[in-house]
């Protein structure tokens, strides 16, 4: 299945959602600009430049785009990819490549904040399926490929349902479930749950932990 085989989903809600995404992303970038500056300085002070890390990801309709994040790994070591048996990325808490500030950024999902610029550019939405790496498309079946009907999101149904603690197949199922039932109430629910997940992080490294991450 090629990118041209997947036509982006149309309709009233997707069109209205795009306007809300632009408005909210612009407002958040303005309000969070002091925090973004502090985080950028923290990354620079901890491990130097570059402060941002860009990675190719699968977008709406199968188009590949460059997703922005605060860099959380040592310079030059971000490109090495380890896979689990189901094809998902292996994310380990004790990964020696992760910087000191990187652990903090990942714990509270602060490394994802630069993706607000991706929302403004039209690559992403605030809410939607998380974008996979381009080669992951080879693992999709016809049903799972439906996640490419909409813009990927900074947060999504799979993220508020367990993040990396879920098997990759379950994450893809939730992504498709979101696409099939996408609506304003669902997006609002996911955004509210995302705030709770940031306050009480869970499932970041593929396993449920006790204490503050429970």
Q: Tens place of pLDDT for every residue, the chain, 214 residues?
A: 444 455 555 567 778 899 999 999 999 999 999 999 999 999 999 999 999 999 999 999 999 999 999 999 998 776 666 666 666 666 666 778 899 999 999 989 999 999 999 999 999 999 999 999 999 999 899 999 999 999 999 999 999 987 667 888 899 999 999 999 989 999 999 999 998 888 765 555 554 332 222 2
Q: What angle do CA 148, 103, 75 make, to 5 degrees?
A: 80
- The three-state secondary structure class of 142 is coil
Domain boundaries, the chain: 13-208
What pLDDT was estimated at residue 12? 75
What pLDDT was estimated at residue 200? 67
The two three-digit tokens of residue 3, written as one number:
């990118």
Could you please report the per-residue DSSP string of 77-125?
Answer: -SS---B-TTSPBP--TT-TTB-HHHHHHHHTTGGGTTHHHHHHHTS-E
pTM here is 0.84
Distances (CA, A) of 138 to 58, 62, 145, 203: 12, 12, 10, 25
What pLDDT was estimated at residue 88? 67
What pLDDT was estimated at residue 184? 92
Q: How many CB atoms lie within 10 A of CB 57?
A: 21
């Amino acid at each position: 299945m090629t990118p041209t085989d997947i036509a982006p989903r149309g309709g009233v809600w997707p069109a209205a959602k795009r306007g809300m995404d632009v408005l909210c992303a612009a407002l958040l970038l303005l309000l969070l600009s002091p925090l973004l500056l502090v985080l950028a300085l923290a990354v620079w002070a901890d491990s130097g430049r570059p402060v941002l890390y860009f990675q190719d990801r699968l977008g709406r309709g199968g188009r590949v785009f460059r997703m922005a994040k605060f860099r959380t790994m040592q310079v030059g070591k971000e490109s090495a990819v380890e896979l689990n048996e189901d094809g998902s990325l292996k994310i380990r808490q004790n990964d020696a490549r992760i910087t000191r500030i990187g652990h903090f950024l990942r714990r509270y999902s602060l490394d994802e904040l630069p993706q607000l610029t991706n929302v403004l550019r039209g690559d992403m939405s605030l809410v939607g399926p998380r974008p996979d790496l381009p080669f992951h498309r080879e693992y999709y079946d016809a049903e799972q490929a439906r996640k490419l009907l909409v813009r990927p999101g900074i947060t999504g149904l799979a993220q508020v349902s367990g993040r990396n603690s879920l098997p990759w197949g379950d994450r893809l199922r939730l992504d498709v479930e979101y696409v099939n039932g996408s609506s304003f109430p669902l997006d609002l629910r996911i955004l509210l749950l995302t705030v709770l997940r940031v306050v009480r992080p869970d499932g970041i490294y593929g396993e449920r932990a006790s204490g503050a991450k429970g």
